[in-house]
Amino acid sequence: MIVNSKIHESVKIWHPELVNIYNTSIGEGTKVASFVEIGGASIGKFCKIEAFSFIPPGTVIEDYVFVGPHVIITNDRYPDVKREDWKLEPVTIKKGASIGAGSVLVAGVTIGENALVGAGSIVSRDVSKGTVVYGEKANLRRQIK
């Protein structure tokens, strides 16, 4: 379902009936795959958003950005449904950056221009312009008896 959004006429949404896009602007030449949710975000020109990605309110994606499949962007660093003082912490992805499949971008981070985030990464700090980051190794935390 696409609701209350400004989408350039050249945008290609592969299966409009299989996306949720609301309160969002999407620029010229951008492509959006199936099973994507984008709400309250700004997407630039000539971007590619792959299947099963989640882009929450406040997110800014500049021009020529690639967002791989199953990418999750968050906008609340400390979620707590009982908290009344919730504050939006938007993520910004600068021009020409690429976000690999299955990555998670934690609330408040900025991905620099032409940066590359490798597949499966968890990004909890800003990524500098033109750098490559990847990984988050699973560590043993405790044994279950």
CA nearest neighbour of 35 among 14, 63, 62: 14
Q: What is the pLDDT of residue 139?
A: 65
pLDDT tens digit sequence for 106-138: 999 999 999 999 999 999 999 999 999 998 765
In the chain, the number of structural domains is 1
CATH of the domain at 143: 2.160.10.10
Rounded CA-CA distance 40/113 in Å is 22
Pairing verdict, β 104-105 and 25-26: unpaired
Q: Residue 100 sits in which domain range?
A: 1-145
Other Cβ atoms within 10 Å of 143 Cβ, number? 5
Buried b (16+ CB within 10 A) or exposed e, 76-102: beeeeeeeeeeeeebbbbbbbbbbbbb
Residue 127 per-residue DSSP state: B
pLDDT tens digit sequence for 66-108: 999 999 999 988 777 777 777 899 999 999 999 999 999 999 9
- Token pair, residue 58, equals 């406040």
